[in-house]
Amino acid sequence: MTPAKSKLGLSKPKTAKARALAAEIVAPVQEFIDKHTTITIERATLRLLGADGANSDGIPVPNLIAQQCGGRLSGGAAVYYINALTKLSKTPAELNAEIAKGLDISKIELTDLKHIQKKAGELVKGLDARITANVSHRNAKLSQYKANVRSPLIYVIVATGNIYEDVKQAQSAALGGADIIAVIRTTAQSLLDYVPYGATTEGFGGTYATQENFRIMRAALDEVVDKEKRYIRLVNYCSGLCMPEIAAMGAMERLDMMLNDSMYGILFRDINMYRTFTDQYFSRMINTAADIIINTGEDNYLTTSDAVEKAHTVLASQFLNEKFAANAGMPNRLMGLGHAFEINPEVKNGFLYEYAQALMAREIFPEHPLKYMPPTKFMTGDIFKGYAMNTLFNFVSKATDQGIHLLGMLTEAIHTPYLQDRHLAIENALYVHNTMEGFIDEIEFKKDGIMARRARQVLDETMEMLSQVKKHGLFTAIETGMFAEIKRPRDGGKGFDGVYEKSPDYWNPVEDYLKNKLGVKAAPAGTAR
C-alpha cells in the first residue's frame, strides 16, 4: 500500500472534509432506504430462504410468489413463504415445485407467528452455514497459494453468450495468467425484472446471469485453481433491476467479486433512483456477508464526459460509493472503487494527468482494492497504437499500486476479443508489472510539478462539487445532470412501481440476519421495521 505521506502533497484535512460532505449527502438518502423495500429485495429474500425454480412458462418461483403477494409486499414476502413451508410440512424444494404448478401461497391462512419465526431461524441458520462455508473455502485457497498472489490482480472478460463456450475461454485465460474472470451479462439483462432460470446458451454481447451459470463457471474455475496454484476469482454484474437477487445468487455460488455501484443503474440504464438506492443497500449487505469484493462503475462517467475536465466527478462518486457501502457494513478492503485511463491520447502531458489521477485515488483510498479500467473511448482499431496505449495503462496501474487491473485489448473497437488477443494482453501486463516491481517505492515527484498540481486541482474541484450536491441534495443533483452529464427524473425510470414503503409490521428475517451479522445499525426510531 502507499505510504502515509502523500507523494502528491494532498491535504488530509481536505480529504476528511470531502468524506464529511459525502456522509451529509448520503444521510437523507439512507433515511429513505431504511423506510422502504422493493420487489427485488423481497425476491432476493425468498431466494436466500430457498425459493428457486420456474414454472412451465419460465417465470421464476420468486417472481410467482411476489406476484401472489401483490401490495402486501410492504409487509414482506418471507412470512408467506415460511408460513407455507410450516403449514404444509414441505421442504423448500417440494414447495417450490407446488408453486411452479400453480399453488398460491398468499391464500394460505397464517399460522402462529412463533412457529413462523422458528422456521425462519432454521432457514437462516442454513443460509449462514452455506455462506460461511463459501468464505472459508475461498480463504483457505487464498492462504494455501498466497505465495503466488500478484498485485495488481489481472482481470479479463469472457462473453460468448454460451456458458459452455465461456467455460473454455475462462479456463484458457486462467491458465494463461489471469487472476480474475468476469462473465459479461447479455445485452440489456439489467432491464429484465426477473432472473432467467437454468443454464443458457444464447446470449447477445454476453451470457445470461443465472444461478446455474454461476455454478457451472465456479466449478470450471475451481478445476484450474490447483493446477495453477492460484485462486481464480469469478466476477459477475450485480446491477440493474435484479441487483439484490444477483447478489444472493453470487453469495450462494461463491462468486468473489461483483460489479455493484450505487448510481450506475440510474445514470446508464435509466432505472429509477429510489429503486436503485434501496436495492444497492440490500445487495451490498449480502455481498459483505459473503466477503465479496464490489467494483464500482466510475469509469463509465468518462465515456460520456471528458476525462480531464470531469475527473472530479469520478472522485466525488468514489466518496459517495464509499459511504453508501460503509452504511451497508462493508469494510474498505471490499470496496473496489472504480476509475479509468481514458484521457484523449492527443492531450499534451495526458500521461502525467493519468498518472496523477490514479495515484491520487490510491492515496485517498489506501485500504481499498481499487479497480482500474483500460483505455476504450479513444481506441480506433489501430492495433499497434492500441497496444502502446495499453502498455502505458499497465505502467500506471503498477506504478500506483492498483488492486484490480482490467486488461485492455489491442482489438478494442474491432471485435469481441479472441483467445490470442487476451494472451497478448496478459503477456504485456505480466511483463510490465514484473519489470517495475519496486518502482512505486523509488519514485518521487516535484512538490509543485504537473502531477502534484493536477491532483490538488481535482481534489479541490471535487470538494466544490460535493458542496453543491449537498446544497441541492443527491436526488436533485442527479436530476440536473451533475454526474456523467446525464439527467434522470426522480419519479421516472424503470422499476419505480416496484418500490414499497415498509408497513409497521414489515418483517424480513434475512435483513435482520444480515444487519446482525454485519453490525449494521437498525433503522432509526419511528421508521418501519
Whether 447 is in a domain gets the answer: no
The 3-state DSSP class for residue 306 equals coil
Please give the pLDDT value at position 521: 81
10 Å Cβ neighbour count for 428? 18
Question: How many structural domains compose the chain?
Answer: 1
Q: Does residue 405 lie in a domain region?
A: no
What is the full DSSP assignment across 157-203?
EE--S-HHHHHHHHHHHHHHT-SEEEEPPPTTGGG-SS---S-----
pLDDT at position 426, please? Answer: 97
Instruction: Answer whether residue 163 is part of any domain.
Output: yes
Q: Tell me which amino acid residue 151 is.
A: S
Residue-range definition of the domain harbouring residue 218 = 152-237
Q: Report yes or no on 175 lying in a domain.
A: yes
Residue 170 falls inside a structural domain: yes
Q: Is the dihedral of CA 88, 92, 93, 97 positive or negative?
A: positive
Query: Residue 465 domain-assigned?
Result: no
Q: How confident is the model at residue 416 (pLDDT cuts 50, 70, 90)?
A: confident
C-beta of residue 451 within 8 angstroms of C-beta of residue 8: yes
In the residue annotation, 299 being an active-site residue is answered as yes
Residues 54, 51: Cα–Cα separation, whole Å: 10
Q: What are 429-453's pLDDT values in tens digits? A: 999 999 999 999 999 999 999 999 9
Decide: 75 and 507 in contact? Cβ < 8 Å: yes
Cell numbers found for residue 147: 505465495
Residue 363 is assigned to a structural domain of this protein: no
- Positive or negative torsion for Cα 507, 255, 396, 157: negative
CA–CA distance, 424 with 405 (Å, rounded to integer):
15
Three state DSSP letters for 4-37: CCCCCCCCHHHHHHHHHHHHHHHHHHHHHHHCEE
Strands 36-38 and 499-501, sheet pairing: antiparallel
Joined grid coordinates for residue 444? 518521487
Q: Poorest-confidence range of 161-165, 280-284, 389-393, 416-420? A: 416-420
Q: Which region holds residue 210: left if phi is over 0, alpha if psi is between -120 and 50, else beta? A: beta
Question: Which range has the top average pLDDT, 194-208, 409-423, 515-529?
Answer: 194-208
Is there a contact between 484 and 304 (Cβ–Cβ < 8 Å)?
yes
Q: Which three cell numbers stand for residue 461?
A: 474541484
Residue 3 has pLDDT above 60, yes or no: no
| Arithmetic mean of pLDDT over the chain | 95
52 has catalytic annotation: no
Q: Residue 78 — φ and ψ, nearest 5°?
A: -60, -35
- H/E element, 501: strand 499-501
Q: In terms of Cα–Cα distance, which of 366, 385, 365 is closest to 375?
A: 385
Q: What are phi and psi of 57, to 5 degrees?
A: -95, 5
In the set 299, 398, 401, 500, the catalytic residue is 299
- Please identify which of the residues 264, 301, 353, 372 carries the catalytic annotation: 264
Quickly list DSSP for 73-105: GGG-SHHHHHHHHHHHT--HHHHHHHHHHT--G
User: Is the Cβ–Cβ distance between 159 and 249 less than 8 Å?
Assistant: no
443-492 pLDDT, tens digit per residue, is 999 999 999 999 999 999 999 999 999 999 999 999 999 999 999 999 99
Give burial (CB, 10 Å; 0-12/13-18/19+) of 98: middle
Q: Which residue carries 500506483 as its cell? A: 400
- Going by C-alpha positions, the residue among 495, 468, 353, 338 that lies closest to residue 405 is 338
Distance CA 48, CA 42 (A): 10
CA distance 140 to 149: 13
In angstroms, the CA 364 to CA 384 distance is 34
| Tens digits of residue pLDDT in 213-251 | 999 999 999 999 999 999 999 999 999 999 999 999 999
Say how far apart CA 325 and CA 3 lie, in whole Å: 24
Does the pTM exceed 0.75? yes
Which residue(s) pair with 336 in the sheet?
A: 295
Q: Reduced to 3 states, what is the DSSP secondary structure of residue 45?
A: helix
Does the pLDDT value for residue 92 go beyond 50?
Answer: yes
Say what percent of the chain tops pLDDT 70: 98
pLDDT at 418: 87
CA angle 32, 38, 43 (to 5 degrees): 150
- Strand order of the β-sheet with 180-183 is 335-336, 293-295, 257-259, 233-237, 180-183, 153-158, 404-406, 371-373, 338-340
CB 221 within 8 A of CB 18: no
How far is Cα 500 from Cα 48, in angstroms, rounded to an integer? 20
Kindly state whether residue 188 falls inside one of the protein's structural domains. Answer: yes
**Is 279 noted as a catalytic residue in this protein?**
no
Spatial distance between the Cα atoms of 77 and 74, rounded to a whole number of angstroms: 8
pLDDT band of 309, cuts 50, 70, 90: very high
pLDDT at 522: 67
pLDDT in tens, 341-359: 999 999 999 999 999 999 9
Interior angle at CA 448, CA 443 and CA 453, nearest 5: 95
Q: Residue 473, CB half-sphere, CA atoms under 13 Å: how many?
A: 9
User: Residue 272 has what pLDDT?
Assistant: 98
